[in-house]
Amino acid sequence: MVRLTPALTSRKILNIAYAAPQETLLATPVTLPTAEPSVPQIGYTVETADLPAFNMGVYRKIFVAMVFGAGKATTAGTVYWRMKKNGVSVATGSGAVAANAFFTVNAYFYNVSIGDLLELALWSNRTDTVWDYKAYNVQVTRLILMNKPRLLQPCNFTSVGSGPILVLGSPSVYGVGPIRVYHVDVVLPTITSVANYEIIYPKDSFGMFRIAYGDFSYANSGTLLTSSSSRPIHYRNYFPLQIVMRGVRGVVEP
Amino acid sequence: MKLTLDIGVGRDFSGEEISVLDRALRRVIPELVGWSYSPLTGELTLDFGDVDENVVLVRIEDYKAKVKAVKVLRFEFMELVKEW
């Protein structure tokens, strides 16, 4: 007797749960130094509980950590920042801040693992610039559910959310980056809500999708945003909460 | 509005060098609001704030020359992206 293997796998329902952001609003703002501090003011160590959780084993996933540092200038000036991962400089930058304006550094660490120390140092060319807010959150990108089979038919993004949702301070959102879905490493039109695909073949480079901020833009980099009234002011990403799919066996890699 | 250029994977900058670089960038590009540089990827992102995108688009080659970039990578306006 011959036992046949079905061409399609069972229906897979992947649920992704994202941890709530860690936020701190200092009761008393702290003045920024006028030279780079030897010890960054803001630091987080990546822990298991910080990572997005999956209801099944996932073949490949890349985590992007977002660290935010915010404050306010009294006199117009320049705020400088440096991102460090495990003590090594990842990116640097600066931004002009108007008098009495708030600033927020949005720093994105691409490909973090449990135990990584992520730090953000802030300093200013003025003596009256302060910081009083920090936050941290982790998202997932370039996910591949199964190594074999890779071809998914269909692949439906059945639930989409956005984040991080920051609540402390007086938050505002500068923009929400769309999801970029990939088929054989070719980007499809961006999505911000539920979307169904007949066929998706995730390849090693980009997987099934990429998030906007922290992968497509600002991977291991950051930006300083300013606002006359809001702190933090930040980017959010759309991200999948649920993907429903079947794998197709016996397909030669394109 | 942000323009990302490849200036080559280079050495890291000290805090003092960042101040010098910041002044140099703002001298040659006075309309600059902010910037970021990753020594890991060599990507320099110039942030022009909320200006008319056409003003920046027509000057991309000029900015590329001013920062001695190898290649123009990306231009981002709101959530629209043009890639090279």
How large is the average pLDDT for residues A236-250? 95
- Answer yes or no: do A89 and B12 touch at CB < 8 A: yes
DSSP for A37-49 reads: -SS-SEEEE--GG
CATH of residue B50's domain is 3.30.70
- Answer yes or no: do B22 and A92 touch at CB < 8 A: no
A3: in domain: no
Q: Which residue among A91, A176, A190 sits closest to B38, beta carbon to beta carbon? A: A91
A7: in domain: no
Four-CA torsion A209, A214, A218, A221, nearest 10 degrees: -150
Say what the pLDDT of residue A14 is. 97
Per-residue pLDDT reduced to its tens digit, B19-75? 888 999 999 999 999 999 988 888 899 998 888 888 888 889 999 998 888 899 988
Q: How many other CB atoms sit within 10 Å of the CB of residue A215?
A: 24
In Å, how far is A51's CA from the nearest CA of chain B? 24
Residues 54-83 on B with a CB inside 8 Å of A are 74, 76, 78-79, 81
The angle formed by the CA atoms of residues A147, A151 and A156, to the nearest 5 degrees, is 105
Mutation pick from A221, A224, A233, A238 vs chain B, by most beta carbons of B within 10 Å, is A221
Average model confidence (pLDDT) across chain A:
95
Q: How many other CB atoms sit within 10 Å of the CB of residue B10?
A: 12
Structure tokens that stand for A15 in this block: 């649920």
The mean-pLDDT minimum among A3-7, A50-54, A219-223 falls in: A3-7
A77: in domain: yes
pLDDT greater at residue A8 or residue A133: A133
Amino acid symbol at A96: A
Report the number of distinct structural domains present in chain A: 1
Region of residue B49 (left: phi > 0; alpha: psi -120 to 50; beta: else)? left
Per-residue pLDDT reduced to its tens digit, A56-115? 999 999 999 999 999 999 999 999 999 999 999 999 999 999 999 999 999 999 999 999
Say what the pLDDT of residue A115 is. 98
Q: What number is the ipTM of this complex?
A: 0.84
Per-residue pLDDT reduced to its tens digit, A122-180? 999 999 999 999 999 999 999 999 998 999 999 999 999 999 999 999 999 998 999 99
Q: Which residue among A190, A212, A224 sits closest to B34, beta carbon to beta carbon? A: A224
Distance CA A198, CA A55 (A): 23
Query: Is the Cβ–Cβ distance between A244 and A12 less than 8 Å?
Result: yes
Establish if B33 touches chain A: CB-CB under 8 angstroms.
yes
Chain B environment of A82 (Cβ under 8 Å): 15, 18
Q: Pick the closest to residue A152 from A15, A251, A241 (CA basis).
A: A251
Residue in chain A lying closest to B73 (CA): A217
Mutation pick from B20, B36, B78 vs chain A, by most beta carbons of A within 10 Å, is B36
Residues of the domain holding A215: 12-247
Distance CA A198, CA A183 (A): 11
Report the number of distinct structural domains present in chain B: 1
Percentage of residues in chain A having pLDDT higher than 70: 100
Whole-prediction pTM value?
0.93
Distance CA A156, CA A28 (A): 47
- Answer yes or no: do B13 and A95 touch at CB < 8 A: no
Radius of gyration in angstroms for the set of CA atoms belonging to chain A, rounded to a whole number: 21
- Beta carbons within 8 Å of A135's beta carbon, 6+ residues apart: A21, A22, A23, A24, A66, A67, A68, A164, A166, A168, A232
Say if strands A172-177 and A233-247 run parallel, antiparallel, or are unpaired: parallel
Chain B environment of A125 (Cβ under 8 Å): 19
Establish if B6 touches chain A: CB-CB under 8 angstroms.
no
Distance CA A247, CA A201 (A): 10
A39: in domain: yes
Say what the pLDDT of residue B79 is. 65
Establish if B20 touches chain A: CB-CB under 8 angstroms.
no
Residues of the domain holding B29: 2-83
Given a cut of 80, is residue B3 above it in pLDDT? yes
